[in-house]
Amino acid sequence: MPYANIQITKGATRQQKSEIVKNITDSLVRVLGKKPEHIHIVIQEIEEEDWGYAGMLTDDWKKSQNTNND
């Protein structure tokens, strides 16, 4: 029974999450030969202030990128 845990920052639409689940399921079926009904996928959405990137909280990093592009 494959179990995939996908962590993303908040903001994905239901349609995007649905596409992620379909694509990962299809990949596990194709690569591992697993049955789709045995595959479990969990998407965890994390606030950008709770995610670190490049030594900064993601929301602060995004703000710094916007400042640099102005």
- Which residues participate in catalysis according to the annotation? 2
User: If 0-12 CB within 10 Å is exposed, 13-18 middle and 19+ buried, where does residue 50 land?
Assistant: exposed
Residue ranges in the chain assigned as alpha helix (H): 14-32, 58-69
